[in-house]
A and B are shown apart, each in its own frame.
Chain A
Amino acid sequence: MAVIRRRKQPEDEVQQHPDPNPDEDDDKEEKASKKSGKKNKSKNYSCLDNCCWFVGCVCSVWWLLLFLYNAMPASFPQFVTEAITGPMPDPPGVKCLKEGLKVKHPVVFVPGIVTGGLELWEGHQCMDGLFRKRLWGGTFGEVYKRPSCWVQHMSLDNKTGMDPPGIRVRPVSGLVAADYFAPGYFVWAVLIANLARVGYEEKNMYMAAYDWRLAFQNTEVRDQSLSRIKSNIELMVSTNGGNKAVVIPHSMGVIYFLHFMKWVEAPAPMGGGGGPDWCAKHIKAVINIGGPFLGVPKAVAGLFSAEAKDIASARALAPGVLDSDLFQIQTLQHIMRMSRTWDSTMSMIPKGGDTIWGGLDWSPEEGYCPSKRKPGKNDTEISTQNESTSQECEATRANYGRIVSFGRDVADAPSSEIERIEFRGAVKGHNVANNTCRDVWTEYHDMGFGGIKAVAEYKVYTAGEIVDMLEFVAPKMMERGSAHFSYGVAENLDDPKYGHYKYWSNPLETKLPNAPDMEIYSMYGVGIPTERAYIYKLTPAAECYIPFQIDTSAKDQNKDCCLKDGVYTVDGDETVPALSAGYMCAKGWRGKTRFNPSGIKTYVREYDHNPPSNFLEGRGTLSGAHVDIMGNFQLIEDVIRVAAGATGEEVGGDQVYTGIFDWSEKIKLKL
């Protein structure tokens, strides 16, 4: 309505223009009076008239433009881009085709968390008419139309971690499951398009879609997803003349596929019963893209206070709802309640404890700052770069090991000066929440003031203590989580307890399969500040709210800041720190180690982030960001080469920009 009203005004003005002119003529006053009567009528008429006229004009212009747009040759935008930025490089698919590369190995994509589409198969009444429509992925239209219904359907049962009664939301299958996350926002589409140039098609590309909300083993229990992947890989290998598959997991798909490799060789009731040489027979290479092998600190912030700063988490999807001041915190709580029912989020809690992530006073990355590299400086030598950045950062030594600190001063203080009060075993106060909050289920309400205080007074949490802290804060959630995931480091890998599926997705508690010809790649972007540690504060009004919040006032003055908005950052791909993505391939699995008894070859390939130089390039062809790297030409070319039969050495072996090997040396892990 507002729009219509506004539009009336200009028309009145237009109408008034002709009025003064006849009034100046003195001879025809009668006519004027008559005219004015007429005018009044015509005024009313013209008012509406003009209103419609305006709309009509806008519409016709719009149609004309639409027509022109449609009549335009399809290559026109590309032509414009080329005219402005100069000729584009050949896309990697075309380049490889010209070199004569051909389809050899079938390719399997394993999508990560949140990128896979989910559709409705059975729902409550409020979801009528949405049968087999996407609830997740696609346009997200329903989030805005009926948010509470949507939250209800996207949540899982908080006891079992499976479907709530009467609701069945299932993963979309096929390549469409994760080619685009939202219209125009590609995930796998660019890679698929380039592989297709070389000759790939659906018979030798397979999207291993699974319900990313479930714990990994539950995807098998409910949907038989793991069996499905096994059967499809077997089919593709046998129909492609026995050429082994190249598996390309992304993000959480990396640890999902780690789980799969253990599952498929484990005996039948718990595993897939494929026999101890299944991987050796069916897999040529695993090309991990941006894999959080050792977890991501971001997951901690997400679980602790629903504050991950990233599209990869539920929050970013609902900005309209979130940004309304009135409901802000309430919305966050709803999202928290929803995402806490997703067991899979717990697969990404940092693993390996203090050994990997650093203790109170040390961390593998210290003395290194995520420098802002200038774009187009690909040929800079690695060593010089490292030196320069480390010099800059020597002054500010961030204690990355303290993943969560309460207050800026605590984060900077030497460990001896911090007074910590043990929180484990602290008595939780009775429920502070009054009745109005009852319907929003987060476990903070069961914790009470006493519990919240106790958590804040421990002051600093390292990776080892994070799990205990989460167990204190959200016991029900962690009960489900610890049944499906484990976050430790194995002392003795031959301990029979490691036959349980909860260890399968933790690279520090499993052995790689016995497949000496297999190759494992770790490909990830670097050059973007990535969340590594947080400074928290208590929220003042702690009644209906989430009691903890990132202290966004904590900042560094330094330009090359490591601390910004209460978050300490290191080098990485914006979501996964380079350490987590690279360590296993750089050291943990390098050569014959106890984690890699058959000596599978590993390669670390980093891709330096170059932001797109202008908006015409979209998300860029040299990006290193967590999702955008899927459109990185260099990475795509590497993938195509491997799929066409190249080995890791032929592709170029290691390619490193960060100090990943230095950091790995600092980690004292028995190998």
Chain B
Amino acid sequence: MALLRRRKRPDDDLPQTPDTPEEDEDKTFKLLKRGKKKRREKYSCIDNCCWLVGCICTSWWFLLFLYNTLPPSFPQYVTEKITGPLPDPPGVKCLKEGLKPKHPVVFVPGIVTGGLELWEGHECAEDLFRKRLWGGTFGDIYKRPSCWLQHMSLDNETGLDPPGIRVRPVSGLVAADYFAPGYFVWAVLIANLARVGYEEKNMYMAAYDWRLSFQNTEVRDQALSRIKSNIELMVETNGGQKAVIIPHSMGVLYFLHFMKWVEAPAPMGGGGGSDWCAKHIKAVMNIGGPLLGAPKALSGLFSAEAKDVAFARGIAPGVLDSDLFQLQTLQHIMRMSRTWDSTMSMIPKGGETIWGGLDWSPEEGYLPFQRKPANLTTSRCSHNDSDTKRCDTRRINYGRLISFGRHVAELHSSDIDRVEFRGAVKGKNHANSSCRDVWTEYHNMGICGIQAIAEYKSYTAGDLLDLLEFVAPKMMERGTAHYSHGLADNLDDPKYAHYKYWANPLETKLPKAPDMEIFSMYGVGIPTERAYVYRLTPAAECYIPFQIDNTAGDTDEHVCLKDGVYTVDGDETVPALSAGFMCAKGWRGKTRFNPSGIKTYVREYDHNPPSNFLEGRGTQSGAHVDIMGNFQLIEDVIRVAAGASGEQVGGDRVYTDIFKWSKRINLKL
């Protein structure tokens, strides 16, 4: 309406102008003129406003027109002019070498990268049938955030659909090729495979609902059966060539679960028989897999503070950054993400044996070294020497995943006064009724419970589960029914046949498939969250009572502690230890976790940030998601898909001290 009113004024002006000649006297004329001038000024003000809009619009259209008439190769041409000729994309390179599709390829997307769409919803989401709620443009988060939260949440008792809501994974390659417009996940890899000759009949996206616990994807959607059937179909229609599986991120754990499921007998498993994997899988190429969990999952569950696009927070910056609602929003997100059982699959596994205790950790004495871009030629040992020297001065207690206060994080273990929190009496509900609608379990904990947690002071990987169980008993009840985070003493114990152990590499044996190969491919060279310094939130009433203490930072340039987070080398999300340990040691050779001696390879990709903005997300990135566009990695994948073995691709390729760290871990093999 405002616009309409404004526009009326100039219209009024026009009819009045003919009136002027009727006046004879000069004074009145002058007066009128003044009035006119004033009006004119007003007119031109609005006029100018519109003028500006018009200018912008026309130039925008003009540019758009130019852009559309431009030959599509023009941006590439400009880039090449500036940065010099681009290297051939790996698909073209491999095509020139004469590589052809041989093995069918299966992609297993990770958490949050898969699209979800609405199949049934409440009234507020009426017109969104089969529209994407997750992935794509995310337009609806901004339009109706509470409705969106309601539909994205699962039932917090069962971990399945809430009544009246059905949100289902998108299927097909479109499920995870782009996460948002322009933000590729699998698209680059798919495009390069297509260059060699792949198409939809020999590429399959094993899309699943990443919010559910792994076994529940089978219970609700039969997602595992679907994957089994599709792999069988592809192997059969491709002349019996076994499939190459490429899981990414949480997909790695999901596929681990699948391999156990498919060979397990029918009611709980897929009944494929004990040689299904040997018959159908040539290689599993894990990309950035949090095989032993990721500390980031912990902070996400504990205080919804993961610092990363890969988590829900990053996608709603507009809502989050408004100061007024900040913590409330976090609580909403926490409530939502806590209903997602899958997040619990990434809680660090293996306890202190793997992640280190109060006074030791496998990575100590090593700093996430910021390598300069393009020094791939640096030999490994010299590189490490400089690193370790610089780091010997300060030993960081990575083993203390959560410490309350900076000083606690640095004290020697004997100096810490820890008050046992297990069994502490939880105070009665201190939340007033205004918070009632925001369901987080902190309200049931009360001030006493919160105090008890803070007074235990420092938590190692072994204490974590107890901590989470204390903080969020309902969530962990669901979680422990579906996942286990321990370390098996005796793998032949019949209890390990239960599906909750299948996603934990430390509590399962690999399938009996001696010809299979397992690759662990991950980026390194980026500081990755490993341990946190926490503090209590002062006003603990309607808020999440814990918060990362972002005042705790090192002044040192090569910081290991920044904003309350201790970092190690990794791909920004998964520490190298978690991604590499199983292939570097746990499964290497014939071990009790790998009874048939499946060959394993560790391939690290050093992070080189894009040199200028024209390169977009870079072709040599090592970041958790961006690595999917790393040319080197794509080339390796294509070679394996075209029939190469791990040795032919180049065997191990290591930049970090993963083998040294692995040696420090005393695990019975």
Which residues from chain A sit less than 8 Å from chain B, CB to CB? 14, 17-18, 21, 24-25, 27, 49, 51-57, 59-61, 64, 74-75, 121-122, 128-129, 131-132, 168, 170, 173-176, 179, 192-193, 196-197, 199, 201-203, 223-224, 227-228, 231-232, 234-235, 238-239
Question: Which residues of B (6-42) have their CB < 8 Å from a CB of A?
Answer: 7, 14, 17-18, 20-21, 26, 29
Least distance between A527 CB and chain B CB atoms (Å): 31
Determine whether the beta carbon of A21 is less than 8 Å from that of B49.
no
B64 within 8 A of A: no
Closest A residue by C-beta to B24:
A25
Q: Which of A60, A74, A193, A239 lies in contact with B222, CB distance below 8 A?
A: A239
Contacts of B57 in A (CB 8 A): 55-56, 59
- Indicate whether B226 reaches chain A with its CB closer than 8 angstroms: yes
Q: A121-B194, A176-B174, A196-B120 are in contact. Are A21 and B17 (CB under 8 A)?
A: yes
Of the residues A14, A122, A196, A228, contact of B194 by C-beta under 8 Å: A122
With both beta carbons as reference points, the residue of chain B lying nearest to A121 in the complex is identified as B199
In the complex, the answer to whether A224 meets B229 with C-beta atoms within 8 Å is: no
Q: Are B229 and A235 within 8 A (Cβ)?
A: yes
Say whether, besides A59-B57, A223-B201, A201 and B166 are in contact (CB < 8 Å).
yes
CB distance from B145 to the nearest CB of A (A): 16
Determine if B310 is an interface residue (Cβ-Cβ < 8 Å).
no
Closest CB in chain B relative to A261 CB, distance in Å: 19
- B421 CB to nearest A CB, Å: 44
B237 to A224, Cβ gap below 8 A? yes
Binding site for A on B (CB under 8 A): 3, 7, 14, 17-18, 20-21, 26, 29, 47, 49-55, 57-58, 72-73, 119-120, 126-127, 129-130, 166, 168-169, 171-174, 177, 190-191, 194-195, 197, 199-201, 221-222, 225-226, 229-230, 232-233, 236-237
For A201, give its contact among B17, B119, B126 (CB under 8 Å): B119
A49 contact set on B, CB distance < 8 A: 47, 51
B237 touches A128 (CB 8 A): no
Knowing A59-B57, A201-B119, say if A21 contacts B21 (CB, 8 Å): yes
Question: Is the pair B229, A234 in contact by a Cβ cutoff of 8 Å?
Answer: yes
Known: A18-B17, A173-B200. A64 touches B3 (CB 8 A): yes
Query: Which residues from chain B contact A128 at a C-beta distance below 8 Å?
Result: 72-73
Given contacts A21-B20, A59-B57, A223-B201, whether A53 and B51 have CB atoms under 8 Å apart is yes
Query: In the complex the two chains form, is A17's CB within 8 Å of B20's CB?
Result: no
Q: Chain B's nearest CB lies how many Å from the CB of A630?
A: 16
Taking a contact as CB atoms under 8 Å apart, the answer to whether B172 and A203 are in contact is: no
Q: Which of A52, A174, A228 has the most CB of B within 10 A?
A: A52
Main secondary structure on B side of the interface with A: helix
State how many angstroms separate the Cβ of B14 from the closest Cβ of chain A: 7
Instruction: Determine if A55 and B54 form an interchain contact, defined as CB atoms under 8 angstroms apart.
Output: yes
CB < 8 Å neighbour of A52 from B54, B73, B173, B190: B54
Chain A residues, CB < 8 A from B7: 57
CB <8 Å contact, B3 and A61: yes
Contact yes or no, A17 B50, CB < 8 A: no
Which of A173, A202, A238 has the most CB atoms of chain B within a 10 A radius of its CB?
Answer: A202
Asked whether B50 lies within 8 Å of A53 as measured between CB atoms, the reply is yes
Contacts A24-B21, A168-B199, A223-B201 known; 11 new A-B pairs at CB < 8 A: A52-B55, A53-B47, A56-B52, A128-B73, A174-B171, A174-B174, A199-B120, A202-B119, A202-B168, A203-B168, A224-B237
- Shortest CB distance B247–A (Å): 21
Complex formed: what's the CA distance from A27 to B27 in Å?
13
Task: Find out whether the CB atom of B29 lies under 8 angstroms from the CB atom of A170.
Answer: no
Are B126 and A74 in contact, CB atoms less than 8 angstroms apart? Answer: yes
CB distance from A44 to the nearest CB of B (A): 14
Q: How far is B207's CA from A202's CA once the two chains are assembled, in angstroms?
A: 12
The 9 closest A-B pairs by CB, nearest first: A52-B54, A56-B50, A56-B54, A55-B54, A56-B53, A129-B72, A224-B237, A74-B127, A239-B222
Q: Which residue of B lies closest to A232 (CB)?
A: B229
Interface centre among A14, A168, A173 (most CB of B within 10 A): A173
Of A17, A56, A74, A174, which one neighbours B49 at CB under 8 angstroms? A56
| Min CB–CB distance A79 → chain B (angstroms) | 12
CA distance A460 to B340 in the complex (A): 71
Contact B172–A174 (Cβ < 8 Å) = yes
Which residues of B have CB within 8 Å of A231? 229-230, 232-233
Question: Max chain A CB contacts within 10 Å: which of B26, B190, B195, B226?
Answer: B226
Contact at A193–B129, with CB atoms within 8 Å? Answer: yes
CB pair A52 B3 closer than 8 Å: no
Closest to B36 in A: A18
The one of B20, B54, B166 in contact with A51, judged by C-beta atoms closer than 8 angstroms, is B54
Q: Do A59 and B53 have beta carbons less than 8 Å apart? A: yes
Hey, which chain A residues are within 8 Å of B190, CB to CB? Answer: 132
Q: B58 to chain A: which residues have CB within 8 Å?
A: 52, 55
Which residues of B are found within 8 Å of A64, using beta-carbon distances?
3
Interchain CB contact (< 8 A) of A227 among B47, B129, B171, B233: B233
Q: Which residues of the other chain, B, contact A132 by a CB distance below 8 angstroms? A: 173, 177, 190-191, 194
> Nearest Cβ distance between residue A32 and chain B, in whole angstroms?
13
